[in-house]
Structure 1
Amino acid sequence: MRRTLSFVAAGAALFFAACGNTGFKKTKSGLEYKIIAGKGNEKDSTFKAGEFVKFNVEFSVKRKGKSDTTLYTTYEGMPTYTMVDTSVRAQLSYMELIPLAKVGDSLDFKVQVDTLINRGLVNPNEIFSKGAVIEGHLTLLKKFKSEPDVNADAMAEFNLEKGKEFNTVKAYLADKKINATQTKDSLFVLVTNPGDQTMKADSGMVATIKYKGVLMKDGKVFDTNMDKSKNHDEPLTVNVGQHMVIPGWDLGLKNFGKGGKGQIFVPAFLGYGPRPNGAIPANSNLIFDIEVLDVKKDTAKKPQMPMMPQMQQGQGAH
């Protein structure tokens, strides 16, 4: 649960300030917002510091002449949770709005990217470009008094979302008549060539991979190194089992040996979950064509805390 709260807090670190739109109120710190009252609020439905809130949130960048870029969303997947914070740490973020509303309420918020740049909160780049606007929406679903209650609710939500994504992948395979094998980890793997089973791409091994990643929803290729259509065709080296890639890869690659080929069908909870990544929308089920060119023992000295790779904007991920 602490990891969940930390992740939410990190998302909340995208700060928001005023942008002067009609119909919006303003907090003392300068954050503009609009509350859309919910129906059937209970008597004890306001939020106090130290309580916990379950909510959905999304925010995106709108740029003139370009398509919107979603930065984060939970509306198409599992809701998220955090502790209510009324201190200065919450100022100029959507976290500041939670104590102003009630269970069932929704809120709109927005900010000019120029404001964030001027305050040194973001650096101008392709996404956070001058003149752009960040717009967001927040829905407060439930409140809790204790962390054990949050944990129980979060586990129920996770199992529900996991089941939805798993069933979506399973239905896709049935519809396409793909005879993939379900693993104990709720992954689906189609092995067309198992490769050398004495040199499997399992934990403790380094695998050299060619891949193509496809969105299951519409069949769009979001990244590949099998050709130069995504501007790179060099093989990818993966230290398997070191959490340097998405869980679906760490779990799926071990089904292939050197020279192996096949497909991995990854439910979103074993991929990127609610985090968009380049051309991959949030909560996307993914398909990867895999070719294992080589497998060797990992003899490199391990760092004490392996670092997660930073995926490049516009490229997919592994």
Structure 2
Amino acid sequence: MKQLLTAAGLALLFSACSVNYEKTKSGIAYKIFKGKGGEKLKAGEYVKFNADIRIIERDTTLNTTMGRVPAYAMVDTSKRTEYSFMEIISKCSVGDSTVFILSVDSLIKRNMINPADKSFKKGDRITCKIKILKAFKSEQDVEPDYKQESELEKAREIKEVEKYLADKGIKAEKTKNGAFVEVQSAGEGIKAETGKEASVMYRGYLMTNNSSVFDTNMDSTKGHTDPYKVQVGTGSVIPGWEEALPYFGKGGKGRIFVPAMLAYGMQARPEIPAYSNLIFDIEVKDVNAPAPPPAAAPAVPGLPGGGQGQSH
């Protein structure tokens, strides 16, 4: 992969060579580096691209897809894309790269950034580097490509988790889709399988920083200590949990090692950066059949869900 320009380098490039940079009607300074004559992007098509977005003044990465799952977006040339990355992308062809700068002050003025967001400061500039990878005619064409990229990402993360386990000398069993379960005590009775309700105590932290606990109910540090009730198999928890809980019965204890794509993937959450592999200490306090749903009210003839109305 080609080395990225640092934010400081980009700032110098803009200040030293500003004469070579153009400006959009909305005021974005940009430079397009032409590729090998790829197809010009058209409105309504979908574009696949890599992006690296940073705050110049602090060299802080806001988001990057480099080495991860590329981004996808529909090409939009309408007025609503003014002062956004799409205003630049719509000028590109497949294979092009572009660098541009956005003003935080301008983004706030346009109501595109919340002034209360402490990630940004007055006077900050956001620098974006984008590489156009491919174009698709329709959203249906995007789906298989995105699925392939996601599988490649998951495979990379599984290797990262396997290396972590090997380095730490941890013996864990791999689930069907790539989570890893260390069973310290299997527990007793029925397992927390699909269709069962499990009451779980947990502590979750980043694999890259075992002291960085982002949530727990094992103590009061996060403001809640009640067991977390999970109806297994309903998709109410991350896939890594869905696959790991059936290893445990009542009283079961262990750890779950979850690749990011079986957790929160590319979506950053409070205290969890995008593409974070996670570890959970868990204890299954109980396993039961879930409570039956409340009985449905009897259908009333003539109302939705009932039979056809009849005159009496």
Question: Could you tell which deviates more after superposition, 184-193 or 165-174?
Answer: 165-174
User: Is 1:43 matched with 2:37?
Assistant: yes
Aligned to 2:305: none
Question: What residue in structure 2 maps to residue 221 of structure 1?
Answer: 212
Provide TM-score, normalisation by structure 2: 0.74
Q: Deviations over 1:28-76 (max 9, x none)?
A: 2x251422515xx233332111322111124456788xx9473x43224
CA distance in 1, matches of 2:123, 2:202: 35
1:202-261 Cα offsets, whole Å, 9 max, x none, are: 444443322222322343423242335x44351352433333332212222232222211
One-letter amino acid matched to 1:50: G
Unaligned segments of structure 2, at least 5 residues: 1-13, 295-312
Return closer, same or farther for 1:151/1:121 CA change in 2, 3 Å cut-off: closer
Amino acid at match of 1:51: E
- Between stretches 111-120 and 184-193, larger displacement belongs to 111-120
The aligned counterpart of 1:101 is 92
Which of residues 287, 292, 299 in structure 1 aligns to 2:291? 299
Match of residue 24 from structure 2: 27
Match of 1:13 in 2: none
Match of 2:174 among 177, 182, 194: 182
> 1:300, 1:118 → 2: CA distance?
52
Deviation at 1:286, TM superposition (A): 1.3
Q: Partner residue of 2:164?
A: 172
Fraction of identical pairs, as percent: 42
Report how far residue 274 of structure 1 moved: 1.6
Does 1 or 2 have the higher relative contact order (CA < 8 Å, sep 6+)? Answer: 1
1:242 and 2:204 aligned: no
Shift of 1:181: 0.7
> What is the CA–CA distance in structure 1 between the aligned matches of 2:28 and 2:234, rounded to whole Å?
43
Larger Rg computed on CA atoms: 2
Cα separation, 2, equivalents of 1:266 and 1:75: 21
Q: 1:85 aligns with which of 52, 76, 92?
A: 76
The TM-score normalised by the length of structure 1 is 0.73
For these two proteins, the number of residue pairs brought into alignment is: 274
Mapped partners of 2:61, 2:269: distance in 1: 10
Matched ranges for 1:141-152 at <5 A: 141-147=133-139, 149-152=141-144
Cross-structure match for 2:298:
none
**Partner deviation per Cα, 1:73-97 (whole Å, 9 max, x = no partner):** 3224111222222223433321221
Gaps of 5+ in 1: 1-20, 303-318
| 1:266–1:287 contact (8 Å) kept in structure 2 | yes
TM-align CA RMSD = 3.1
